[in-house]
Structure 1
Amino acid sequence: MTGAGYAFHHGDAEAAAAAEQRRLAAVRRYAVPDTPSDGTFDKIASLAARIFDVPMATVAIVDSDRVWFKAAHGLRGIGEIPRDPATGTGPRVCAAAPDEPHCACPLAYDEPYVATDARTDPRTAAGPLVHDDLDVRFYAAAAITTADGHRLGTVNVLDTRPRRPTDDQLAALQDLAALVMDELELRLSALHTVAAERERRADAERLARTLQRTLLPPALPAVPGLHAAAAYHPASVDEIGGDFYDLFPLDDGRWAFFLGDVCGKGAEAAALTSLTRYTLRAAAIYDPDPCTALANLDAVLKGEYQGDTPRFCTAVFGVLDAASDGSFTVTLAGGGHPPTLAVRADGTVEPVSTAGGQLIGLLPDPHFVQATTRLAPGDALLLYTDGLIEARTADGSMLGEEGLARHLTGHAARGADGLLATVHKLFTDLGSGVSDDTALLALSVPPRRTPRAAQENR
């Protein structure tokens, strides 16, 4: 009667209690109790029954207050039994206390525990399974032992008639207990792998979110007479996208803004996004003409990635010029980018097209197209990347520029925040149809307050 950490002798109560706590910690480590039935362990129990030619066999895990059967061959409707208060640690086939001369606990033995006739064996004669409906007469168990010496439970065989097992049968029972332990180790390793992968993905997601935030302005500045709002809708939480936007003042009192999308995902896209954003800001300092700003970006990208795989982007760059009547003149230039949408005060939607503008950083001599529009009080402007219009609707068709325009019709009075709320609801409705990141920038001019409205607000 030996075993690592087990002290069943009289007078060793404290040591036994400490050993039991360590054993229970091992049971928790392998997380077996209350898991679903499993074909692998069912086969082990069935094989044990065939080797011994007995009607009943179990793979049992001894918990703090019960014996839980991971597999139970021939014991229909029995998934667990209370832990024997007499033995303290073993299945309820035994009765003697663990500090008596003949210990009744199967977990206390290195070798298989055997009761050839449970009615006459002093360790088991008073055991409950001997006297209940099962009428157990023969019982043998081999401990399921961890590499660090903790016994999680036993592989058991039971019969209703006395029998004397052979040495080969008992050796096979020990082998089956070792197989159970091997399988538990494999599953524990798989659990650790899954947990590590989840943690790795969580770390990657946190890193992606952090890096993504560094590629976008933390907040948009307040523009007198204008309301601005922006949003970023990632298609994946663990991938860094290449969409970008910005709004900033120029030295002459005007304001510049841009929005775009670089090719690719991940760290390379992040580096290109950072370069693009700061290049456009720097270009606007020297010459805020929209076409010139895009041309400067094109030159920088070609110089930076010369000889490497081409890196390119689409973008729209604009300048806001406030007028004395409260309106804004907007001058835009586009390079391969979808049209900006002007949502008028009456709810109509007009595209501000820069069609013909070509990709930035890819072609030898790209052409950029400029357009001008006026934002009057009550008007709004929406810039977006192509992840929005390339999203699929419920019928599988692409939303497209016309579909987006139809969806926005009638939403002008809600301003920049209202536009983004409308698009956000659209994203929600599209659900899994959205497969790419989308950046949004909305600019709106507050409607004029009528004398009656001003009177009501006093």
Structure 2
Amino acid sequence: MTGGAPHHDAEPSPVDEQRRLAAVRRYHILDTPSDGAFDTIASLAARTFGTPMATVAIIDTDRVWFKATHGLDGVTQIGRDTGLCASAILHDTPYVVPDTLADPRTADHPLVRGEPGIRFYAAAPITTAQGERLGTVDVLDIRPREATDDQLAVLEDLAALVMDELELRLSTLRTIAAERAQRTAAERLARTLQRTLLPPALPAVPGLDTAAAYHPASVHEVGGDFYDLFPLDDGRWAFFLGDVCGKGADAAALTSLTRYTLRAAAIYDPDPCTALANLDAVLKGEHQGGAPRYCTAVFGVLEPGPDGSFAVSLAGGGHPPALVLRADGSVEPISTAGGQLIGMLPDPRFVQATTRLFPGEALLLYTDGLIEARTPDGTMLGEDGLARRLSAAVPRGADGLLGAVDELLADLGPGVNDDTALLALSVPPRRTTPPAQENR
């Protein structure tokens, strides 16, 4: 079969060309890396015709870009000169030029007059379901020849395979984009939900500096760490920090229940052990034969003293000890060891401890994501490792204390695999400048 009598091809209308180019852009194929599937198609086309060269070409605004080539090593694109690929996309059936020098459509093409001296050309259009012709599957030879009907039918089949690959690629890209959008929406929802589980800001406590932070191990999940600080009716202040079991929506619901239960328990009776016992009863009431709903927590009460210090009473249920950073730089754990998980055991025991914060001293509460993190050598940081790091850092005030922990978490990097909540309370150091000198 030949290409018939030579004739000049009509140029596409501007509207049709804009629609075609929009389709090219839609498939996001231009300037992508080589792909084995397209390379195979070009190789099969050359083998079917017995030609030394074949391409899978996409026609851009002013260039012909080759997604795959066979026998044209190093050639990635050529200008959009009429006669070969640029003319082939004007036809919805195979385009054949048995002798390029004898055909006025191709005789002046640079690939015909110059290297590699093309004398035979045949192409099948790569056509979308909507009829836009994106490019061609081509075969080329340096000597004139004829093409059979069977060869051209195979060429059309190969062009259809290219279109199938492009559709599959587009579907994959859209799926990835949709998954990314869903993941982004889920992350945004998780962040929003996480914020609702924590106080938007800590209240100002007279004579005390406060700071809190939440470090999620993953932006994809809602964690169960929580903290709060709030006033009691008698001039004292209550605070708590803890960690519920699980992740996600169930953990969020349990966190919300725990936080508001502890607030309500403090109004009823702010004794730390009593507050944890009330929480234990509520969590067991929510159990109702399903999976246990439990948590660890520290609950404390602050009472300001006339000398600027604060008496601290706190109780723990299965939670790591709070740390006091003394004015001399030492780090002292406030142990509630023996306090048991809240909501899990039939008759749990909660352990209470007391201390006093003097000017220049701070209290740090944290969840176990911090001390269970792995150091670069693979060992667990642990309570002793945290105490050593804070003692060496000599942080100043609540903000400085959390800054030291931030640096520690950054140093641990991938060794941190669980959420970490932090609550720091510090008593500012006494003034050393006489008030009279401040006004000079």
Task: Establish whether TM, by shorter chain, passes 0.5.
Answer: yes
Contact residue 316 and residue 352 of structure 2 kept, 8 A: yes
Give the match for residue 4 of structure 2.
none
CA, structure 1 residues 136+186, in 2 after alignment: closer, same or farther (shift >3 Å)?
same
Are positions 1:119 and 2:119 aligned together?
Answer: no
Pick from 27, 30, 34: which aligns with 1:30? Answer: 27
> 1:213, CA displacement in angstroms?
0.1
1:408 corresponds, among 343, 368, 390, to 390
Q: Which residue identity does 2:85 align to in structure 1?
A: P
The amino acid across from 1:60 in the alignment is A
Structure 2 residue corresponding to 1:58, chosen from 52, 55, 59: 55
CA offset at residue 450 of structure 1? 1.1
2:300, 2:393 → 1: CA distance? 23
TM-score, with length taken from structure 2: 0.96
Amino acid aligned to 1:57? A
Give me the whole-angstrom Cα distance separating, in 1, the residues matched to 2:435 and 2:85. Answer: 83
Residues 1:341 and 2:323 are matched in the alignment: yes
Aligned mates of 2:29, 2:238 — CA distance in 1: 62
How far the C-alpha of 1:454 sits from its partner, in A, is: 7.8
| C-alpha distance in structure 2 between counterparts of 1:454 and 1:131, whole Å | 97
Using the alignment, how far apart are the partners of 2:164 and 2:122 within structure 1?
21
1:308 positional shift: 1.1
Report whether the alignment pairs 1:91 with 2:124.
no
Give a deviation string over 1:284-335, Cα, whole Å, max 9, x none.
Answer: 0010000000000000000012211101000000000000000000000000
In structure 2, what is the Cα distance between the partners aligned to 1:457 and 1:259? 41
Distance 1:412 1:256 in 2: 26
Match of 2:182 in 1: 200
Report what 1:437 is aligned to: 419
Deviations 1:174-211 (A, max 9, x none): 00000000001001000000000000000000000000
CA distance in 2, matches of 1:16, 1:336: 77
User: For 1:154, which of 136, 141, 148 is the aligned residue?
Assistant: 136
Contact 2:85-2:123 within 8 A present in 1 as well: no
Cross-structure match for 2:308: 326
Report if the CA contact (8 A) 1:345-1:412 is conserved: no
Structure 1 residue 410: Cα displacement: 4.6
Residues 329 and 454 of structure 1: CA distance in aligned 2, closer, same or farther (over 3 Å): farther
Contact 1:243 / 1:260 at 8 angstroms: preserved in 2? yes
> Is this contact kept in 1: 2:9–2:90, CA < 8 A?
no
Note the alpha carbon deviations across 1:220-260, whole angstroms, 9 max, x for none.
00000001000000000010000000000001110000000
**Any unmatched runs of 5+ in structure 1?**
1-7, 93-104
Matched position secondary structure for 2:264 = helix
Q: What's 2:173 paired with?
A: 191
Aligned to 1:69, which of 66, 71, 82? Answer: 66
Q: Is the 8 A contact 1:416 1:442 kept in 2?
A: yes
1:421-441, Cα deviation, whole Å (9 max, x unpaired) = 000011111111000000000
C-alpha deviation, 1:91, in angstroms = 2.8
Percent sequence identity over matched residues?
75
Q: What is the match of residue 389 of structure 1?
A: 371
When residues 413 and 397 of structure 1 are mapped into structure 2, their CA distance, relative to the original with a 3 A threshold, is: closer
Q: Which stretch of structure 1 is more off in the superposition, 362-371 or 108-117?
A: 108-117
Cα RMSD after superposing both structures: 1.5
Q: How does 1:172-187 map to 2 (within 5 A)?
A: 172-187=154-169
Q: What is the number of residues matched between the two proteins?
A: 433
Q: After superposing the two structures, state which structure 1 stretch, 305-314 or 334-343, moved more.
A: 305-314
Give me the whole-angstrom Cα distance separating, in 1, the residues matched to 2:189 and 2:202.
Answer: 23
Indicate the residue corresponding to 1:102 in structure 2.
Answer: none
Q: 2:221 aligns with which of 239, 247, 251?
A: 239
SS in 1 for 2:78: strand
Q: Which residue number in structure 2 is paired with residue 46 of structure 1?
A: 43
Query: What does 1:126-141 correspond to in 2, within 5 Å?
Result: 126-141=108-123
CA distance in 2, matches of 1:354, 1:316: 9
Q: Amino acid of the residue matched to residue 442 of structure 1?
A: A
SS in 2 for 1:398: coil
Deviations 1:24-43 (A, max 9, x none): 01000001111001111111
- Structure-2 separation of matches of 1:194 and 1:242: 30
Instruction: Please list every run of 5 or more consecutive structure 2 residues that lacks an aligned counterpart in the other structure.
Output: 1-7
Deviation of residue 455 (structure 1)?
3.5
AA paired with 2:169?
R
Q: CA deviation at 1:457?
A: 8.0
Q: Which of residues 144, 152, 176 in structure 1 aligns to 2:126?
A: 144
Kindly state the Cα deviation for residue 108 of structure 1 after the two structures are TM-superposed. Answer: 1.4
- One-letter amino acid of the counterpart of residue 414, structure 1: R
